[in-house]
Structure 1
Amino acid sequence: MRVLMFGWEFPPHISGGLGTACYGLVQGMNHHNQEVIFVVPKLWGDEEPLADFVNASDVTIDYRERKFKKIWKNLTYLEVNSFLVPYLGQEEFKKYTDYAMHHRTDVDESIFSNKFEFSGKYGKNLMEEVSRYALVGAQIARDRSDFDIIHAHDWLAYPAGIAAKEISGKPLVVHVHATEYDRSGESVNRPVYEIERAGMHAADHIVAVSQLTKNICVRKYGVPAEKVTVLHNAVLDASIIKSAYQKKVPEKIVTFLGRITFQKGPEYFVEAAKKVIDRDPNVRFVMAGSGDLLNRMIDRVAELRMGTKFHFTGFLKGDDVDHMYAISDVYVMPSVSEPFGIAPLEAVRHNTPVIISKQSGVAEVLKNAIKVDFWDVDAMADAIFALLHYQSISKMFKELGGEELKKLKWEHVAAKLVTVYEKTLAQRS
């Protein structure tokens, strides 16, 4: 089977779990001898050659073709100039994109050119790039007939998937890694919500990363439950990592590693940290990541007078992430609404016991972890204290967690995905 797959990022150039999941899924597909044409807005040249990559910035389109005009007419509503970023808040946007480069150009000049140059980032013209990406998706689907099915990852790629389906007539599967309700709570951004809803309803089938996410698709987007299949995320390698990296402080270390945004619940981690330090001052807390709540968290730590025991590292990647896991005695993910959450699985790989919120998709598959409600900072603090002071409990979670990882491999997820493809194709025929 040959799959035309639309994503927005691919390792090593990623801003969150989406790129990591795409990498794992493509690797799993290779294990089952499935061919993937993977389209991204911008290729950087250092991607691992796991797929037949297509650089959307290199694709020349002729929008004057009749079908393209119809697609363009349906996409003009996306042409808005706003800060709409899936991972980063407005405050963080400047750190990842060049502000001057993203100033809006004249629509008549930029939209109807034959080739679009994508930034490959999450800047303030993101919506404009999403709509352009859809036109490129249609062109690719017209030029290449050597695929059987279309697969679009998350809302950024849904319009491209829809356009490719309209041009080719091939079935579309959309992959819901997160929804606007996860990112924003009930205060959803309506344009993003409408794109998500359009993608889900245009799809022949939907893949959700957890039962939690499937429930949101059904309740909030009006999707029939039978149209959604749950495929949990996984890990690239289930082996336990034995790092030689040593921490340079005598205290125990408790880590939060993720985007410092509403969705990830960083404020609950800070409050729980205060309760633990009051009971045992020989503990250090680390908040690794960046996001729109970073400054607020720094201010709150100062208010609680625990600055000497609480550290902010900024955004980590590569070896720095591995080193952070290696020196951590406990990993905490207090997410308010987490579609899945790959980070706890990575922590388990580093032999680090984890505490996760009950409001996370990973809680559905990771049985040997302590689970608390994100808002229950007392329970969170008690769990942290127990793992730090009762070695038998910590050892148990390490051993059982390692055994669980063996069942959570991307090749298993890919096998289930192939079955979804086959059923979708059979229904269409």
Structure 2
Amino acid sequence: MKVLMFGWEYPPHVYGGLATANFGISEGLHAQGDVDITLCLPKPFGDEDHTFANIIAMNCVPIAWRDVNWDYVNGRVGNIMNPDLYFKLRDHIYADFNYMNVNDLGAMEFAGGYPGNLHEEINNYSIIAGVVARTVDFDIIHAHDWLTYPAGIHAKQVSGKPLCIHVHATDYDRSRGHVNPTVYSIEKDGMDNADCIMCVSDLTRNTVINQYHQDPRKVFTVHNAVYPLSAENEAIPRVDHTNKDKIVTFLGRITMQKGPEYFVEAANMVLHRTRHVRFCMAGSGDMMNAMINLVAERRIADRFHFPGFMRGKEVYECLKDSDVYVMPSVSEPFGISPLEAMQCGTPTIISKQSGCAEILNNCIKVDYWDIHALADAIYSICHNDSLFDYLSTEGKNEVAQITWEKVGRWIRELYLRTLGWK
């Protein structure tokens, strides 16, 4: 089975959780043994892992004819795309796009990540998808998140092949219901045109059905998973804080959706009971300054740390240096970070309003707004060694069973159903 997949980010260039999920899903599908993935990315850098997918650099796909030779193309883009593919794609240009801002290869440049002209880049990406869909051999289309829905729709229109979309989040989650009408329109258009909608949780599935008015019969829950720890990250030792200050960590985007203010307020309550706890808010976001001010207003700045955005090994060092991990999200479609914390043996507290709460048992779950319950849970883990040991051990064992291979098996099943092959 051949899949044409549209993604926006991919390791090692990680801008958010979408890269992690895209890689894991590719890995899980590859493990099935009969799924061949062609993955389109706006701006790969050439150092991506090609083990699980054949990557097409959309910024190297010609949409306007240019009379260039093989050596010139190789010199320009040979490190990220085979020149032979460039010429194969050039034969399938379907319209005159010279009026667009194309370069010397007739291709469009991308900034990568999430630039200020994001909507323009989404549109450009969807145009290029038409050339790719006319060139590549595939059975089914898989588009990740709203950024790639227009590309998936265009590929479906060009090829007549069925479209699966993967809803990793909706604007309802990001905005607490105050949706951006442009983003909502793109999301709904993608859902309306999809033959199969995969959602990362029952929470998200219900949002898709009720807020985007989709037929429940084509909407399925596909929970995320977590990669096994690499040898390098496994080797990072856990830090023992016996007879020392305990460390409680929030790690993620410091933005409205993630509920950072509830973490600060719970920290303030804990610090009224004990001073032997330190709080770490790792990450960056539009609420960071507001959180720094709130910490100052609560007079707990001497117990609070803002180390900034973390990536790669830094994340696992932080988690293994923590006695408690907290994710107080207001509306979290899934949330992979608690699984990563539990992998590290770090007792975890999550909001009941998160998708991962549907599949995790060996952690503490509280309503995001219940700062009293959150403070009690933090205090209990920090002061009860038996509770700490239980959550650390059982959490690690539980997450070891949540694999991308199982996710890939379920997605393959949904492909077969969508294609009518089963």
TM-score with structure 2 setting the length: 0.88
Q: Secondary structure, in 3 states, of the residue corresponding to 1:279?
A: coil
Kept after mapping to 1: 8 A contact 2:24/2:227: yes
Paired residues of 2:63 and 2:93 also in contact (CA < 8 A) = no
Contact 1:330 1:384 in 2 (8 A): yes
Residues 1:27 and 2:27 are matched in the alignment: yes
- Cα shift at 1:66: 12
What's the secondary structure of 2:166's corresponding residue? strand
Deviations 1:230-265 (A, max 9, x none): 110001117994632647993100000000010100
Q: 2:103·2:109 contact (CA, 8 Å) conserved in 1?
A: no
For residue 48 of structure 1, report the CA deviation from its aligned partner: 1.1
Q: Deviations over 1:27-83 (max 9, x none)?
A: 1111112211011000111111121000000001159x999679x9xxxxxxxxxxx
SS at match of 1:147: coil
- Which of 135, 157, 160 is the aligned partner of 2:127? 135
Task: Give the 3 Å change call, closer, same or farther, for CA 252–52 of structure 1 in structure 2.
Answer: same
Show the counterpart of 1:393.
387
The answer for the alignment partner of 1:55 in structure 2 is: 57
Tell me: CA distance 1:218–1:115, structure 2 relative to 1, closer, same or farther (3 Å). same
Structure 1 pair 296/346, CA: closer, same or farther in 2 (3 Å)?
same
Structure 1 gap segments, 5+ residues each: 73-106
Structure 2 counterpart of 1:281, which letter? R
Q: Secondary structure at the match of 1:110?
A: coil
* Cα shift readout 1:109-164 (whole Å, capped 9, x = no counterpart): 527994111111211100000000001111100111x1110000000000000000
Alignment partner for residue 244 of structure 1, among 237, 250, 262? 237
Q: Does the residue aligned with 2:143 lie in a helix, a strand or coil?
A: strand
1:347 alignment partner, one of 341, 348, 351: 341
CA-to-partner distance for each residue in 1:254-287, whole Å, 9 max, x for gaps? 0000000101000100000000011010100000
Q: Assess if the C-alpha contact under 8 Å between 2:343 and 2:400 holds in 1.
A: no
Contact conserved, 1:204 with 1:424, CA < 8 A, in 2?
Answer: yes
What pairs up with 1:117-196 in 2 under 5 angstroms? 117-144=109-136, 146-196=137-187
For 1:258, give the aligned amino acid: G
Looking at structure 2, the residues matched to 348 and 323 of structure 1 have their Cα atoms a distance apart, in angstroms, of 13
Q: Secondary structure at the match of 2:134?
A: helix
Report if the CA contact (8 A) 2:2-2:36 is conserved.
yes
Is 1:201–2:192 an aligned residue pair?
yes
Tell me if structure 1 keeps the 8 A contact 2:5–2:39.
yes
Residues 333-379 of structure 1: CA deviation (Å, up to 9, x unaligned): 00000000000000000000100000000000011110001011111
- Residue type at the aligned position of 2:15: S
TM-score after normalising by structure 1: 0.87
**Structure 2: gaps of 5 or more residues:** 66-90
Which residue of the partner structure matches residue 205 of structure 2?
A: 214
Q: Distance in 2 between matches of 1:183 and 1:126?
A: 17
1:94 aligns with none
Among residues 305, 309, 333, which one is paired with 1:315 in the alignment? 309
Q: Distance in 1 between matches of 2:167 and 2:318?
A: 29
Distance in 2, Cα, partners of 1:354 & 1:422: 37
CA contact (8 A) 1:241 1:351 kept: no
**Letter matched to residue 306 of structure 1:** I
- Aligned equivalents of 1:242 and 1:392: distance in 2? 24
Match of 1:95 in 2: none
State the shift of 1:403 in Å: 2.2
Give the SS at the match of 2:149: helix
108, 113, 127: which one aligns with 1:116: 108
- Matched residue type, 1:408: I
Cα distance, 1:68–1:261 mapped onto 2, change above 3 Å: farther
What's the offset of the Cα at 1:290? 0.2
Query: 2: distance between equivalents of 1:245 and 1:404?
Result: 19
